[in-house]
């Protein structure tokens, strides 16, 4: 029987080195991407969108890195995200996009969070809050054609001219969101811009914000006072059909837990969805759809392969290798037949996305967008945050 004390003394625990799933977040690339977006924003200030746990990368480390890089305006989705971020961005303005709801007032005030008011119901509640708590800033979200959140355009303009509104009602930001900011050929961008100009003029002297990542690349007409870069900070594509200028930020890797051989004519994974046409070597790795590596990337047996021919690929030993068969909950099989036998071993790691496998290529093979790939990263990844020259 093992002497567990001696065993634990003999082996130093390194969670990252031994993890089945590893996620590396390059904070230098992240902050350089934010600085690039700040430069693209021209005269406007650049904020930072860190909702959904900083797009799956970790709001604590990412929020602090962006704050230290100079970001002073942050956007989160929920009050809980704002409370967490406040610990790492002490002097920043933190806007909560879902707004304020009964029972959340104390957390807003105690953590100096700014609610984004998006509906007549929220506005009415906010007026009641101000009657009890006094003057406190907010932001107003106006719908300029998206038909998602936002006060109606005419309602927002009428509110600006309403002399009966309480003096304690003091919005610090007017904002809207482009429905087609990632499509620079869409006429809707110009339509929304003209609508937003109307409401921005009605709130003269108050900061205005229209452009997120894609909108920033539309040019200075869309920048106003504050931009809201999000997906671009994390290294993914912001504009359809444009070469992505951003640095890759996130690298996901999975351990090879077995290498096996299979004969031509045999099948791979569930449902016999892949029939081998040659004798093959297969690497079984410790990542599956429970970890955000989507089943729709499977090489066969999923409807998407009838539309998009390219299945998922990983990067191993200097080459791209394809997914073989269906991706399962905890495991994915890759065909490594074309690699020399002596270059891959059990225990090695395959890159699922990162510097060699663009996250948006992974998204395309899954029939989705880079946003979903990032925000679907599971809890089983051991995370490491690096800065330049740390690796």
The catalytic residue positions are: 51, 270
With beta carbons less than 8 A apart as the criterion, state whether 229 and 37 touch: yes
Cα(230)–Cα(222) distance, integer angstroms: 16
Quickly count: other Cβ atoms within 10 Å of residue 187's Cβ.
9
Q: At what angle do helices 27-40 and 59-69 cross, to 10 degrees?
A: 50
Nearest to 132 by CA among 100, 99, 84, 160: 100
Quote the longest CA-to-CA distance of the chain: 83
Quickly count: other Cβ atoms within 10 Å of residue 130's Cβ.
17
| DSSP summary character for residue 120 | H
**227, β-bridge pairs:** 46
With beta carbons less than 8 A apart as the criterion, state whether 152 and 195 touch: no
Structure tokens given for 33: 């991407």
Class of residue 188 by CB neighbours under 10 A (exposed 0-12, middle 13-18, buried 19+) = middle
Q: Are strands 207-209 and 169-175 parallel, antiparallel or unpaired?
A: parallel
- Burial letters 80-95, b for 16+ CB under 10 A, else e: ebbbbbbebbeebbbb
Nearest to 250 by CA among 36, 19, 56, 24: 24
With beta carbons less than 8 A apart as the criterion, state whether 279 and 261 touch: yes
Cα(333)–Cα(284) distance, integer angstroms: 5
Q: How far is CA 105 from CA 24, 115, 121, 129, 222, in A?
A: 36, 10, 15, 8, 33
Quickly count: other Cβ atoms within 10 Å of residue 307's Cβ.
7
């Amino acid at each position: 029987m093992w002497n567990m004390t001696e065993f634990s003394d003999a082996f130093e625990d390194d969670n990252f080195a031994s993890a089945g799933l590893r996620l590396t977040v390059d904070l230098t690339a992240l902050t350089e991407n934010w600085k690039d977006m700040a430069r693209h924003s021209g005269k406007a200030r650049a904020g930072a969108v860190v909702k959904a746990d900083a797009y799956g990368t970790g709001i604590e480390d990412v929020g602090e890195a962006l704050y230290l890089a100079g970001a002073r305006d942050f956007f989160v989705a929920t009050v809980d995200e704002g409370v967490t971020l406040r610990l790492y961005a002490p002097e920043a303005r933190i806007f909560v996009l879902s707004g304020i709801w009964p029972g959340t007032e104390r957390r807003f005030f105690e953590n100096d969070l700014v609610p984004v008011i998006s509906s007549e119901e929220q506005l009415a509640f906010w007026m009641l809050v101000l009657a009890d708590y006094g003057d406190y800033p907010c932001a107003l979200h106006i719908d300029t054609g998206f038909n998602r959140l936002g006060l109606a355009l005419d309602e927002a303009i009428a509110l600006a001219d309403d002399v009966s509104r309480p003096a304690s009602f003091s919005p610090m930001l007017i904002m809207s969101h482009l429905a087609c900011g990632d499509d620079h050929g869409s006429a809707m961008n110009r339509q929304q811009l003209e609508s937003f100009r109307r409401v921005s003029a009605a709130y003269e002297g108050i900061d205005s914000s229209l452009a997120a990542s894609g909108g920033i690349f539309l040019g200075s007409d869309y920048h106003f006072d504050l931009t809201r870069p999000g997906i671009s900070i994390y290294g993914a594509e912001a504009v359809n059909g444009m070469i992505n200028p951003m640095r890759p930020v996130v690298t996901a890797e999975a351990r090879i837990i077995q290498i096996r051989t299979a004969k031509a004519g045999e099948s791979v994974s569930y449902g016999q969805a892949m029939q081998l046409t040659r004798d093959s070597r297969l690497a079984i790795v410790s990542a599956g759809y429970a970890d955000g590596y989507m089943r729709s990337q499977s090489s066969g047996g999923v409807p998407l392969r009838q539309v998009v021919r390219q299945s998922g690929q990983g990067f191993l030993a200097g080459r791209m290798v394809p997914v073989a068969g269906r991706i399962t909950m905890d495991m994915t099989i890759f065909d490594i037949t074309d690699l020399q036998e002596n270059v891959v071993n059990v225990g090695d790691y395959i890159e699922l996305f990162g510097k060699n496998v663009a996250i948006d290529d992974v998204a395309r093979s899954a029939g989705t967008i880079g946003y979903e790939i990032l925000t679907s990263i599971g809890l089983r990844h051991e995370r490491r945050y690096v800065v330049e020259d740390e690796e």
